[in-house]
Amino acid sequence: MTELSAPAAGGDTSPLGPALVEEATKKSGLVWVRGEGPERALWHLWHEGAMYLIGDGGDEQPLPGLTDGGTAEVTVRSKDKGGRLIAWAASVREVEPRSELWETVAPELKGKRLNAVDSDGVLDRWARDCRLLCLTPVSSTTDLPDGSLAAAPADSPVTTRRPAPAALPRLLLGRKRKRG
């Protein structure tokens, strides 16, 4: 595990911080990541002290606001209850396609990629079209926020469902009207 630097203000000063970051992130299949843009739910891989993400190409997850040399905040959720366990700050760096690190991490990520359309050619497609990012922890916090972390929904042309027409249950269930 990479050593975490001094925690941010209000951060975790416990020696369990690095261990908690690693264990929680390893076990969570989904994390929330915020770079320069909005926070996004992303699938990931924990490998040798860092978290790896693949995306920004075709059918892969978008990685908005995550840039090489930038920073990000990662919020890890509990796998069973979905609640917030820990948040940690990370430095972001892009891994060059087909580099030694890429060749080590990409096949492991492939194993975690659910429902890939082209599982045989996914590594070639990732090397050609996607970015592999390494997020290395630099500080952590277990302090829970005072208020809600709920965000307003993103703008969308999708509308809320309207009430079902009164005749729909009869049509679906095949009930016929009684004739008098």
pLDDT tens for each residue of 117-132:
888 899 999 999 999 9
Determine if the pTM surpasses 0.85: no
Could you tell me if residue 180 is inside a domain? no
Residue 8's pLDDT band, with cuts at 50, 70 and 90, is very low
Residue 72's pLDDT band, with cuts at 50, 70 and 90, is very high
CATH classification at residue 34: 2.30.110.10
Query: Higher pLDDT residue, 12 or 68?
Result: 68
Instruction: Tell me the HSE value of 45 on the side-chain side, using a 13 A CA sphere.
Output: 21
How many domains is the chain built from?
Answer: 1
Indicate the helix (H) or strand (E) that contains 47: strand 45-47
Strand order in the sheet with 45-47: 40-42, 31-34, 71-77, 84-95, 131-141, 50-55, 45-47
Could you tell me if residue 102 is inside a domain? yes
The rounded mean pLDDT for the chain is: 84
- Residue 53 belongs to what domain range? 16-145
Could you tell me if residue 150 is inside a domain? no
Q: Is 48 left (phi over 0), alpha (psi -120 to 50) or beta?
A: left
Least confident of 2-11, 54-63, 119-128, 129-138: 2-11
Could you tell me if residue 11 is inside a domain? no
